[in-house]
């Protein structure tokens, strides 16, 4: 497994992270979740990304990892909403959201806490940033940041208190490589890529509906990307993971074979240079009106 420094935080995370939204479903039984989480960690994936909005995810992480494996994982959660009796996107909501996450994940600190796609006008008020920073100063959080895209993310890049960011990045969503990732690197901060394989639009022969990849499917066709002679999942993951400025790429799955495959892809290292730049060219030749998927 490859591990990268998350900016200047001193936190080292695996270049493949686990997106724990899938384990929030009440359709999964507890033993399956427990086995999956331990399997992921045993394979060297130490970064787990969750959120207040991911159903039972935080609670299950607390149940199965807090006692024997807390030291083996870097926990990242996202806050800003969904606290009973408190208005969303307020100072108190952030404080209580962090306190709730600490409680349900049964830990006395959180490695990373991100504001979960709040708009620019909320960031401008600064209360939510101050709340995270106050919790960090108390030692309850090691690193703070922002999860979001487009103009909201661009505004968040200039908030000095943030240590890291999370947003969409993949073959069909490369706008951030134009300058966002350059700024993040120059500021010595971290970036976590979500949707690193673009939700696999190559699975579909016709326009998909309800699979969170319709837009990426159209972009794939527009870019005329031909995956006939290569494994598209491998190309997509290696493209994202080895783009400069990407600290970790989060993959969500409940299939251990997918985990094994992703690790084997990563072990092959960077894509061939000619293929990498051909994919970049195909995107930017067609990207005038394309925005990042939120």
Q: How many residues does the structure list for the chain?
A: 294
CA–CA distance from 107 to each of 51, 71, 98, 111 (Å)?
15, 10, 11, 10
Distance, in Å, from the CA atom of 86 to the CA atom of 290, rounded to the nearest integer, reads: 36
Which residue ranges make up each domain of the chain?
Answer: 3-199+233-271
Mean model confidence pLDDT for the chain: 95
pLDDT in tens, 37-63: 999 999 999 999 999 999 899 999 999
Q: What is the pLDDT of residue 178?
A: 83
> Among all chains, which residue has been given the structure tokens 């995956």?
227
pTM for this entry: 0.94
| Confidence at residue 158, expressed as pLDDT on a 0 to 100 scale | 96
- What DSSP line would sit under 48-69, residue for residue? EE--TTSTTHHHHHHHHHTTTS
List, for residues 114-154, the tens digit of each pLDDT value: 999 999 999 999 999 999 999 999 999 999 999 999 999 99
- Residue-wise pLDDT tens digits, 250-272: 999 999 999 999 999 999 999 99
Residues 6+ positions from 48 with CB-CB distance below 8 Å? 17, 18, 20, 37, 40, 61, 65, 73, 74, 75, 76
- Spatial distance between the Cα atoms of 12 and 83, rounded to a whole number of angstroms: 30
CATH of domain 3-199+233-271: 3.20.20.100
Q: What is the Cα–Cα distance from 158 to 161, expressed in whole angstroms?
A: 9
What is the structure's pLDDT at 210? 81
User: For the residues 91-112, what does the mean pLDDT come to?
Assistant: 97
Render 145-169 in DSSP notation, one character per residue: EEE--HHHHHHHTT-TT--EEEEE-
Distance (Å, whole) CA 155 – CA 165: 12
Q: What integer pLDDT is reported at residue 230 of this predicted model? A: 84
Residue 38 burial (CB count, 10 A)? 15
Handedness of CA 127, 133, 139, 143 (dihedral sign): positive
What is the average pLDDT across 272-285? 94
């Amino acid at each position: 497994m490859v591990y990268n420094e998350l900016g200047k935080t001193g936190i080292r995370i695996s270049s493949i992270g686990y997106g724990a939204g899938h384990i929030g479903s009440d359709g999964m039984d507890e033993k399956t979740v427990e086995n999956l989480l331990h399997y992921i960690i045993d394979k060297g994936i130490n970064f787990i990304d969750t959120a207040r909005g991911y159903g039972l995810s935080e609670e299950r992480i607390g149940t199965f990892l807090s006692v024997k494996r807390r030291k083996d994982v870097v926990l990242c959660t996202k806050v800003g909403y969904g606290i009973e009796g408190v208005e969303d996107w307020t100072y108190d909501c952030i404080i209580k959201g962090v306190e709730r996450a600490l409680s349900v994940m049964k830990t006395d600190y959180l490695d990373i806490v991100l504001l979960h796609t709040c708009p620019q006008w909320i960031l401008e008020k600064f209360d939510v940033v101050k709340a995270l920073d106050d919790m960090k100063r108390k030692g309850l959080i090691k690193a703070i940041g922002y999860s979001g895209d487009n103009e909201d993310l661009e505004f968040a890049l200039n908030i000095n208190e943030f240590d890291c960011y999370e947003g969409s990045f993949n073959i069909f969503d490369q706008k951030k490589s134009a300058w966002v990732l350059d700024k993040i690197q120059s500021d010595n901060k971290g970036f976590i890529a979500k949707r690193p394989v673009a939700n696999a639009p190559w699975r579909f022969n016709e326009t998909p509906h309800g699979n969170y990849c319709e837009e990426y499917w159209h972009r794939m066709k527009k870019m005329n990307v031909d995956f006939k002679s290569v494994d598209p999942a491998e190309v997509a993951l290696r493209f994202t993971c080895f783009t400069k400025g990407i600290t970790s790429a989060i993959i969500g799955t409940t299939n251990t074979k997918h985990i094994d495959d992703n690790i084997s892809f990563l072990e092959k290292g960077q894509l061939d240079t000619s293929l990498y730049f051909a994919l970049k060219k195909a995107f930017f030749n067609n990207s005038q009106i394309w925005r990042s998927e939120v």
